Homo-oligomer: A and B are copies of this chain.
Amino acid sequence: PRTINLAVVAGDGIGTEVVEQGLLALDAALAGSGVGVATTEFDLGARRWHATGETLTDTDLDAIRTHDAILLGAIGDPTVPSGVLERGLLLKLRFALDHYVNLRPSTLFPGVPTPLGNPGEIDFVVVREGTEGPYVGNGGAIRVGTPHEIANEVSINTAFGVERVVRDAFARAAVRPRKKLTLVHKHNVLVHAGHLWRRTVEAVNAEFPDVTVDYLHVDAATIFLVTNPARFDVIVTDNLFGDILTDLAAAITGGIGLAASANINPDRTSPSMFEPVHGSAPDIAGQGKADPTATVLSVALLLDHLGLAAQARTVEAAVAADIAERSGRVRSTAEVGKDLAARIAG
Q: Give Cα A255 to B228, complex, Å.
A: 12
Among the 9-residue stretches A25-33, A109-117, A267-275, A324-332, the one with 4 or more Cβ atoms under 8 Å from chain B is A109-117
Q: Does A79 contact B (CB under 8 A)?
A: no
Nearest B residue (CB) for A160: B147
A190 near B134 with CB under 8 A, answer yes
B240 near A252 with CB under 8 A, answer no
Q: Give Cα A143 to B226, complex, Å.
A: 38
Residues of chain B within 8 A (CB-CB) of A147 are: 159-160, 163
Q: Give Cα A195 to B145, complex, Å.
A: 10
Q: What is the oligomeric copy number?
A: 2
State which of B139, B158, B188, B244 has its C-beta within 8 Å of the C-beta of A150. Answer: B158
Q: Does A141 contact B (CB under 8 A)?
A: yes
Residues of chain B within 8 A (CB-CB) of A188 are: 76, 82-83, 86-87
- In chain A, residues 184-211, which have Cβ atoms closer than 8 Å to a Cβ of chain B? 186-196, 198-199
Residues of chain B within 8 A (CB-CB) of A189 are: 83, 86-87, 91, 134-135, 240, 243
- In chain A, residues 56-102, which have Cβ atoms closer than 8 Å to a Cβ of chain B? 76, 82-83, 86-87, 91
On chain A, the number of residues with a Cβ less than 8 Å from chain B's Cβ atoms is 66
Residues of chain B within 8 A (CB-CB) of A118 are: 115
Given the interface contacts A226-B248, A227-B115, A248-B226, does A193 sit within 8 Å of B149 by beta carbon? no
State which of B82, B155, B158, B222 has its C-beta within 8 Å of the C-beta of A153. Answer: B155
Nearest B residue (CB) for A76: B188
> Chain A, 231-255, contact with B by CB distance < 8 Å: what is the 0/1 string?
0000000001001101110111001
Q: Please, could you name 10 A-B residue pairs with CB atoms under 8 Å apart, sorted by A?
A: A82-B191, A83-B195, A115-B118, A115-B227, A147-B159, A149-B158, A150-B156, A154-B155, A155-B155, A222-B248
| Among all A-B residue pairs, the 7 with the closest Cβ atoms | A219-B247, A117-B117, A149-B159, A83-B191, A151-B192, A222-B248, A139-B192
